[in-house]
Amino acid sequence: MEKLTSLKNPKVQKWRSLKEKKAREEQQAFLVEGVRMVREALSSSFEVKALILREDYYPEFDMPSEVPVYLLPVHVFQSVSDTKTPQGIAAVLSLKTLEASGPRLIALDGVQDPGNVGTIIRTADAAGFDGVILSPDCADLYSPKVLRSTMGSIFRLGFTFPASLSDMLNALKKDGYSVISSQLDGDPFYERKEISSPFVLIIGNEGNGISEAVKAVATHRFRLPMRGGAESLNAAVAAGIMMYDLTR
């Protein structure tokens, strides 16, 4: 275990910079915080490059001998952390994920709120989906807020980042996937005929919905009922309702 006491230490400066997308891409690394996320990371297929402990934190589990462990004073650890009340443990991981594959996929078309992206990933994991496809204009999967919102589900699903979402959906359609678009002018969701696997469900941007290019690929277009005065649902809520019902 190595103790780092200075904010100017090169390792500390690199870890602090991982809050930014550019630094994550340059270092091909990202940082997760908290006991649950670190434990999930250690039991996953991700490479854990470093474990970071606050000097007043006592681990609740054995530290793996093959991973470097660093001890930081409170103020230095706080500078690395992105949370207001950090738990005292963090890990630096290699920037890699499994490819999204399987009979049940969800595609995000410009979902830009990090909380929505993370919540949809967590719900997809809970509902039994296999992977997530993210268009280029989605919130960054490895941003601190997205990671926290996934509650560890990032370690259990596959992810794909196509340059063109519509092109990838077209390829999936040719492979026999049903392509389901969630849109306000679609057919009633609960009146649909049975849709068998494989399928991919598309959730659109919070303000603009699904893009025209992506809508054109869809084999099914559905809307959820709005029985009250609200015009629409939060993207993550709508995704959760549809994912669970499609797997019911």
pLDDT for 101-159, tens place per residue? 999 999 999 999 999 999 999 999 999 999 999 999 999 999 999 999 999 999 999 99
- pLDDT at 242 exceeding the cut of 80: yes
For the chain, the straight-line distance linking the first and the last C-alpha, in angstroms and rounded, comes to 49
Residues 176 and 231 in one domain: yes
Q: Is residue 156 part of a domain?
A: yes
Q: Is residue 43 part of a domain?
A: yes
Q: Residue 189 has what pLDDT?
A: 94
Residues 127 and 226 in one domain: yes
Q: Residue 63 has what pLDDT?
A: 80
Q: Residue 208 has what pLDDT?
A: 92
In b/e form, how buried is each residue of 166-179, taking b as 16+ CB within 10 angstroms?
bebbbebeeeebbb
Question: Across the chain, which distance is largest between two alpha carbons, in Å?
Answer: 62
Residues 151 and 230 in one domain: yes
- pLDDT at 61 exceeding the cut of 80: no
User: 229: domain CATH number?
Assistant: 3.40.1280.10
Final residue before a domain boundary, out of 64, 94, 124:
94
- pLDDT at 29 exceeding the cut of 80: yes
Residues 84 and 111 in one domain: no
Instruction: Give the range of the structural domain holding residue 71, as residue numbers without chain letter.
Output: 2-94
Query: In this predicted model, what pLDDT tens digit does every residue of 185-223 receive, in sequence order?
Result: 999 999 999 998 899 999 999 999 999 999 999 999 999
CB of 246 closer than 8 Å to CB of 221: no
Residues 151 and 81 in one domain: no
Residues 127 and 188 in one domain: yes
Structure tokens at 58: 């006592």
The larger pLDDT score, comparing residue 151 to residue 84, is at 151
User: 83: domain CATH number?
Assistant: 3.30.1330.30
Q: Residue 56 has what pLDDT?
A: 92
The secondary structure of the chain, three-state, reads CEECCCCCCHHHHHHHHCCCHHHHHHHCEEEEECHHHHHHHHCCCCCEEEEEEECCCCCCCCCCCCCCEEEECHHHHHHHCCCCCCCCEEEEEECCCCCCCCCEEEEEECCCCHHHHHHHHHHHHHHCCCEEEECCCCCCCCCHHHHHHHCCHHHCCEEECCCCHHHHHHHHHHCCCEEEEEEEEEEEHHHCCCCCCCEEEEEEECCCECCHHHHCCCCEEEECCCCCCCCCCCHHHHHHHHHHHHCC
Q: Residue 196 has what pLDDT?
A: 84
Residues 111 and 231 in one domain: yes
Q: Is residue 41 part of a domain?
A: yes
Final residue before a domain boundary, out of 39, 60, 94:
94
- pLDDT at 248 exceeding the cut of 90: no
Structural domain count, the chain: 2
Residues 110 and 228 in one domain: yes
- pLDDT at 177 exceeding the cut of 80: yes
Residues 200 and 130 in one domain: yes
Using pLDDT thresholds of 50, 70 and 90, give the confidence band for residue 67: very high
Q: Residue 37 has what pLDDT?
A: 94
Residues 84 and 207 in one domain: no
Q: Is residue 151 part of a domain?
A: yes
Averaged pLDDT score across all residues of the chain: 94
Q: Is residue 99 part of a domain?
A: no
* Count of C-beta atoms within a 10 Å radius of residue 50: 18
Share of the chain above pLDDT 70, in %: 100
